[in-house]
Amino acid sequence: MTHALPDDMEPTNPRLSPALATHVGDVAPAIVVTAGFDPLRDQGDAFAAALRDAGVPVTHRCEDSLSHSFLALDGLVPEASAAIERLTVDIAEHLDTAT
């Protein structure tokens, strides 16, 4: 991953990977979506658990039949389109509760 970072950014910077933050309790409610075929699935699951343990409201879903880049497959893969629709509903619900 370091090849994609600016020279002055450390790969352990929590802004790059929020799961590496030592304190996650003072953040907004979160939506964490991973995919079944996602090399970052375990990290996403751990991040959602850390948020939940810190008292942060979390909507966490794993789209088991999809790959990491499923958001780019809208309109091409029906399962991806359905997952994106679920995410859209989650975002709308989070926005409704924030107002």
Cα–Cα distance measured from residue 83 to residue 70, given in angstroms and rounded to the nearest whole number: 8
Name 26's Cβ contacts closer than 8 Å, sequence gap at least 6. none
Token pair recorded at residue 45? 């699951």
The pLDDT of residue 21 is above 60: yes
Which pLDDT tens digit goes with each residue over 74-86? Answer: 999 999 999 999 9
pLDDT at residue number 3: 67
The average pLDDT across 25-48 equals: 90
The pLDDT of residue 41 is above 60: yes
pLDDT at residue number 79: 97
pLDDT classification of 12: cutoffs 50, 70, 90: confident
Q: Where are the domains of the chain?
A: 30-98
